[in-house]
Structure 1
């Protein structure tokens, strides 16, 4: 996949899209295949548990948390997933986050996943925005998705096993790339829902 349209990631202060980094994803097996997840029904009620690899292979419904991260300038943290990710490898994402472990709440997962992927501690508790049931068209089933937002003004040090590239982009810079880059489909669906909700709120008297 071509990276030519990625923002130039230069350490100089005049880098056009702020701090960014490329990280080698390394070799090895895909991550987290043996993690145990809750399996849920269409009403988001737990019906059992299964290994993450089995959840994806069998298309079992499960849970995930998505966290939109903004910095002090209201830019959005955007990253490219490594090629070792079990689902949607090497695609771009507007959210940090991931699946919920067995017995974990959405709020717990949102804070844990955000701190892990950003490589920070002391992150404020993410603010819940909405939930929706994402139906995957690639045979991976569906997952209840809780969407959050959080502000982080400090430096980030993303996990090289999870994040191959990252930058903080303005909303205009994101909009210019929505049709150019290969995005993870669930994150793109969540972001489009967020934009529609924001537009609806601004139109109300």
Structure 2
């Protein structure tokens, strides 16, 4: 059997012109209510009309406080993984001329700080639980790097800044499951790099066991 993409992913289904138009109407209403300025409206309309799948449409209205009109019933009905609850773990990840990895089954506290000074930090939230429904991760990187891997059932909002460095958000094309945890990532990358991303799905032969790569 030839390699194939993991099937049954509603976010990868093709969107119609009517779907794009419904999202555009939501954006125009949000601009009229003051939720978006003209630059944001223009930027999001461009993303809307160039979107090819439901997965690309969903994030465009995700932060406007209204359900996306383009969400498939299969996505709306999907039960989010029960990730909220448990005793919080450490509130700080620190790396100075060293590395710090947090991954596997750990409980992220409501507020977590990641500080990398001439070192590297990996925060892998793929199998993590969250002490609260909304989590804030504050990042400071100086001559170092921080990678944050956020699973698809977690909504992520990134507002960090890079100065002579990069604070990158590569999660916007992946849909989030309504009702899942929310993670806000803020901070500063000073001559350093911060990379927020989703796990990537590989092409595999055994469709019953999808693999993830980072």
Interval of TM-score (by shorter of Structure 1 and Structure 2) = under 0.3
The answer to which structure, 1 or 2, has the higher relative contact order (CA under 8 A, 6+ apart) is 1
TM-score by length of 2: 0.26
Q: Decide which structure has the larger Cα Rg and report it.
A: 2
Q: TM-score of the superposition, structure 1-length normalised?
A: 0.27
